[in-house]
Structure 1
Amino acid sequence: MSAHQITLRFLAEPSDVNFGGNVFGGSVMKWIDHAGYSCAANWSHSYCVTAYVGGIRFLKPIRIGDLVELKAELMHTGTTSMHISVSVYARDPKSDTERFTTHCILVFVAVDSEGNPSQVPTFVPETAQGHRLNNYARKMIDLRKRMQDEASSFLDEMEAQANTD
Structure 2
Amino acid sequence: MSEQRRSTTLRFLAEPGDVNFGGKVHGGAVMKWIDLAAYACSAAWSGKYCITAYAGGIRFVKPILVGSLVEVGARVIYTGRTSMHIAIDVQASDPKELDKTLTTHCIVIMVAVDEEGNPTPIPEWVPKTKEDIELRDSAIRLMNMRKQIGEEMQAGVKYLK
Are positions 1:35 and 2:37 aligned together?
Answer: yes
Which residues of 2 match residues 10-159 of structure 1 at below 5 A? 10-156=12-158, 158=159
- Name which of structure 1's ranges 101-110 and 91-100 shifts more when overlaid on structure 2: 91-100
Q: What is the CA deviation profile of residues 126-162 of structure 1, one whole-angstrom value per residue up to 9, with x for unaligned ones?
A: 2222112101100011001101111122223x16xx5
Instruction: State the 1:25 CA deviation.
Output: 0.3
Do the aligned residues in 1 keep the contact of 2:4 with 2:46 (CA within 8 Å)?
A: no
What is the CA–CA distance in structure 2 between the aligned matches of 1:91 and 1:133, rounded to whole Å? 26
Q: What is the CA deviation profile of residues 20-61 of structure 1, one whole-angstrom value per residue up to 9, with x for unaligned ones?
A: 111000000000000001000100111001000100000001
> What's the counterpart of residue 6 of structure 1?
8
Q: Which runs of 5+ in 1 are unaligned?
A: none
Q: Which runs of 5+ in 2 are unaligned?
A: none
What is the CA–CA distance in structure 1 between the aligned matches of 2:151 and 2:44, rounded to whole Å? 33
SS at match of 1:31: helix
Aligned AA (2:73): K
The structure with the larger Rg is 1
Aligned length: 159
Q: What is the CA deviation profile of residues 100-132 of structure 1, one whole-angstrom value per residue up to 9, with x for unaligned ones?
A: 000010001100000000001001012222112
What is the CA–CA distance in structure 1 between the aligned matches of 2:88 and 2:69, rounded to whole Å? 16
Instruction: State the 1:2 CA deviation.
Output: 6.7
SS at match of 1:135: helix
Do the aligned residues in 1 keep the contact of 2:8 with 2:37 (CA within 8 Å)?
A: yes
Q: Percent sequence identity over matched residues? A: 51
Q: TM-score, normalised by structure 2?
A: 0.95
Q: Name the structure with the higher helix share.
A: 1
